[in-house]
Structure 1
Amino acid sequence: MVSKNKELGLFLKKKRSTLRPEQFGLKFEKKRRVKGLKREEVADLAGVSIDWYVRIEQGQNVNPSTAVLLSLSRVLQLNNEEKRYLFNLSDKKLPIEDVTSASISNTLQKFLDNQNPSIAYITDSKLTIIGWNETALKVYGNYKEMSEKERNSVWRAFNDDYLKELLDNWEGHTKLRVEQLRANYNYYENDNTINEIIDELNEKHSLFNKWWNNQGIMGTPEGQKLLHHPVVGDLYLSYISFKSTEIEGAHITIQMPIDDYTKNKLEQLTLE
């Protein structure tokens, strides 16, 4: 049976072989013998000595700290499951703030970008938009310039006139968002930011209060929708949503053009 230390070394070696030096701005050599990153490159990027890193890959008992494991996770671009595996092999516990962090990895962002000219975005458990592609910005508004509160789908549905004009079925959209937020309450019940938003909406909007207390059935993860864009006109879309395995409680949504008519309009928007 392979020891944890040996398994840890093999795991790190395997992960560095999947990376390319160009990803880190390192010079690529045509005669490069090593597949992926070199040991010294990983050590330098992670901020540890090459001797220490060699020992850990050799399966020696070096007892890496939590900070070092997080640094290696970042350099080796580990997903959440791989991070847990790395920490388990090191007999350490992955910090809870790292498990629940809602950062968009390079791979996930590339996935969103590759969906253009379809609309692609990610909502966290609080229904706040945390990731998007260019088409999403052109259709739904510039998330880059919005505050966290303004990027919250529920708050925005009740308070943003642009979104109200854009949505063909504002009531259906907004009711669904409220029900989704209510269903996710266990994820954020101690989060002051979203609870302040909920209190504000309860106080100012009777429909929110009604839908929040209604144990309704949420919509399906697939369907169709119509948007009325102020520049290119009507957009006919089909959509699909699925859970992210990387970010706890988050969902990825792709809204695709139903026909070439809509596809051409979305392409036009992304070129502007």
Structure 2
Amino acid sequence: MDKNKELGLFLKKKRSTLRPEQFGIKLEKRRRVEGLKREEVADLAGVSLDWYVRIEQGQDVNPSVEVLLALSRVLQLNNEEKRYLFNLSDKKMPAEDTSKIIISDTLQKFLDSQNPNIAYITDSKLTIIGWNKAALKVYGNYERMSEKERNSVWRSFNDNYMKELLDNWEGHSRLRVEQLRANYSCYENDAKINEIIDELNSKNSFFNEWWNEQGIKGTPEGQKLLHHPMVGKLYLSYISFKSTEIEEASITIQMAVDDETKNKLEKLLKL
């Protein structure tokens, strides 16, 4: 199929999956269109209706990168769909700005559905970028932390709460350093994380030793013990897996091993 026609059909199909209520559009009783109307997509994306009609008709309109990003946002495309859209338009998809990562409604609902178990998302620099309520109750209020404070490596060496919470601080911290080292190629030109690495290298002998050993490990599954200041010991099993939606991000779920731990997590959620 011609790429222009394929692009038009793809956009038409995607707008049919959306509901007007998602965008604050009042639903008409006699509405005949499934999903969004063409004029609604055009208005939300900031393009002319005539232009949008022509692209859905498969005409050669050569959309810009900015327009493709706007359509991706309005049509709520995931990363694979966005990549497909750019390929059809013969455009290179711009690199994702990790400082502007947005957790989708669907992904946030997944994190929330894990309560009372702990769920959070880390980026390639091991900075926490998404979480559920249980994570806040156990690990601290990420909502009030700066980006630097949410970096799990920096926090391991600088936050006394974490040092007291972790049953095996040394094992946890060493693993985090090794994981950060393993991902270095993903962020080697990132000024913020390199500032953290330089700071820890100069101020902490443990970090300096473990970083320069260049050990590289990963633990997608395992168990851990935490000492929470309010409810005591929490016995948890955990599993981590890569997100296909956010480049190089990992989703971690920490589950209660026994009923006593589950009851304690439920108690924390009510506080």
In the alignment, which residue of structure 1 is the partner of 2:84?
A: 85
Give TM-score, length-normalised by structure 2.
0.95
What runs of 5+ residues in structure 1 fail to find an aligned partner?
none
State the alpha-carbon separation in 1 of the partners of residues 104 and 220 from structure 2: 23
In the alignment, which residue of structure 2 is the partner of 1:254?
A: 253
Cα RMSD of the aligned pairs, angstroms, is 1.6
In the alignment, which residue of structure 2 is the partner of 1:35?
A: 34
In the alignment, which residue of structure 2 is the partner of 1:135?
A: 134
What runs of 5+ residues in structure 2 fail to find an aligned partner?
none
Q: Residues 158 and 100 from structure 1, CA distance in 2 versus in 1: closer, same or farther, beyond 3 angstroms?
A: closer
SS of the residue corresponding to residue 37 of structure 1 reads coil
Do residues 21 (structure 1) and 17 (structure 2) align? Answer: no
Do residues 168 (structure 1) and 167 (structure 2) align? Answer: yes
**Structure 1 residue 145, shift from structure 2 partner:** 0.8
* 1:52-83: CA deviation from partner (whole Å, max 9, x where unpaired): 21221111122212111110000011112211
In the alignment, which residue of structure 2 is the partner of 1:184?
A: 183
Is the Cα contact below 8 Å between 2:181 and 2:216 reproduced in 1?
Answer: no
State the alpha-carbon separation in 2 of the partners of residues 91 and 271 from structure 1: 52
In the alignment, which residue of structure 2 is the partner of 1:212?
A: 211
Is the Cα contact below 8 Å between 1:80 and 1:99 reproduced in 2?
Answer: no
Is the Cα contact below 8 Å between 1:124 and 1:130 reproduced in 2?
Answer: yes
Paired residues, what number? 271
Q: Residues 100 and 201 from structure 1, CA distance in 2 versus in 1: closer, same or farther, beyond 3 angstroms?
A: closer
State the alpha-carbon separation in 1 of the partners of residues 89 and 68 from structure 2: 9
SS of the residue corresponding to residue 218 of structure 1 reads coil
SS of the residue corresponding to residue 93 of structure 1 reads coil
Q: Residues 263 and 32 from structure 1, CA distance in 2 versus in 1: closer, same or farther, beyond 3 angstroms?
A: farther
Q: Residues 97 and 222 from structure 1, CA distance in 2 versus in 1: closer, same or farther, beyond 3 angstroms?
A: closer
**Structure 1 residue 170, shift from structure 2 partner:** 0.8
Give TM-score, length-normalised by structure 1.
0.94
SS of the residue corresponding to residue 121 of structure 1 reads strand
Matches within 5 A, 1:44-83: 44-83=43-82
**Structure 1 residue 31, shift from structure 2 partner:** 4.2
In the alignment, which residue of structure 1 is the partner of 2:200?
A: 201
